[in-house]
Structure 1
Amino acid sequence: MSALNIKKGSTSHSAYNLRDTHSDVVERHTLAVIVANEAGVLARVIGLFSGRGYNIDSLTVAEVDHTGHRSRITVVTSGTPSVIEQIKAQLGRIVPVHEVHDLTTEGQSVERELALFKVAGKGDKRVEALRLADIFRANVVDSTLESFIFEVTGTSEKIDAFAELMRPLGLTELARTGVAALSRGAEAV
């Protein structure tokens, strides 16, 4: 039993990686990959995942530096600590990749996702859908006499919870953007 209360993981404030890389526990990690904004880069990054049998839970891509021609790929993936380390190392070896950051282990980060929900219903179900949307701070972005389209922004868990509540009320369609994430603090990633 350790006398120190040290949490597993590494942070930007520690020189030591305290994670057990031989663990069999599957962990969810959010990776921020800064790449050259050129044709074929996304295909090469995704090819690394598919070629080695790694799963992607969420993927978002957008240009973040127009003058520097750089894009940010945010990938949410799962694996054992050794698999995650292997993914990061292999991503770093791809030529158009400038930086690879594991937001899960580098300190605190903020993750958000946007989703659109089409809910069809009449009467009490319609009223209940509006009531729940208010609780979840969902915006009504379109309305007809038979349906609503709600916009929800938040964590993936919040999106999942809203979807579960809307299913019995007439959820007919769902579109999700995937996770966008930034590390907290003054330093840029």
Structure 2
Amino acid sequence: MKTTEQKWLSVYVENEVGVLARVSGLFSGKLYNLNSLTVGETEAKDISRMTISLFSDDRTFEQVKYQLSNMIEVIQVIDYSDIPIHTKEVMYIKLPYDENLENDLDKLAKNNSFTIVEETTHQLLIECINTDKQNNQLIADLKQFISQEIEIIRGGSVAIASLVKE
């Protein structure tokens, strides 16, 4: 039986029109499922860095790395499988506000990291910069207190190798 687990790649690519479409097209064309894909310019304006998270078995992951490495626009593929990394994801949550929610949020703040960035008499906007697992937990915790619909926006994870190697 193939075991799937979360895997991380850092992919340096030429900062050109269409590169993101070609990389994401590789995933959809081969029926690989991305968990998260974030892209941003690096310190060099002509190079972008993609952080890719996916759940896969080892064989599929090796195929993904091989196919990415063979793309013309790809400069470097870094596998984060066997090294310590730091990951974070930006998430915003818009939720209905009532007086009871304040006590619930105080309870949640003991185990979760978030900031209230805006509030009105009817709504709150929360910003969270945590790992994706911590953000998943915050959502689950919030749903215990709030029966109404909440709006969630997630920005995708970024990852970087730790300075300390194990």
Verify same fold: TM over 0.5.
yes
Q: Which runs of 4+ in 1 moved over 6 A?
A: none
Change (3 A) 1:142 1:134: farther
1:169, distance to aligned residue in structure 2 (A): 2.9
Aligned residues of 1:140 and 1:148 also touching (Cα < 8 A) = yes
2:120 to 124, 132, 144: 144
Structure of greater Rg = 1
Q: Secondary structure at the match of 1:46?
A: helix
Equivalent residues in 2 for 1:1-189, closer than 5 Å? 24-67=2-45, 69-105=46-82, 107-133=83-109, 135-170=111-146, 172-185=150-163
* % identical aligned pairs: 29
Change (3 A) 1:184 1:162: same
Aligned residues of 2:90 and 2:154 also touching (Cα < 8 A) = yes
TM-score scaled by structure 1? 0.80
Change (3 A) 1:186 1:164: closer
Aligned residues of 2:113 and 2:130 also touching (Cα < 8 A) = no
Unmatched runs of 5 consecutive residues or more in structure 1? 1-22
Quick one: distance in 1 between partners of 2:103 and 2:122?
Answer: 12
Quick one: distance in 2 between partners of 1:134 and 1:81?
Answer: 38
User: RMSD across aligned C-alpha pairs, in angstroms?
Assistant: 1.8
Task: Compare relative contact order (CA 8 Å, sep 6+) and give the higher one, 1 or 2.
Answer: 2
Matched letter for residue 142 of structure 1: E
Quick one: distance in 1 between partners of 2:105 and 2:122?
Answer: 12
Deviations 1:163-184 (A, max 9, x none): 0111233351001111100001
TM-score scaled by structure 2? 0.91
Matched letter for residue 116 of structure 2: V
Matched letter for residue 100 of structure 2: D
Change (3 A) 1:178 1:74: same
Higher strand proportion, which one? 2
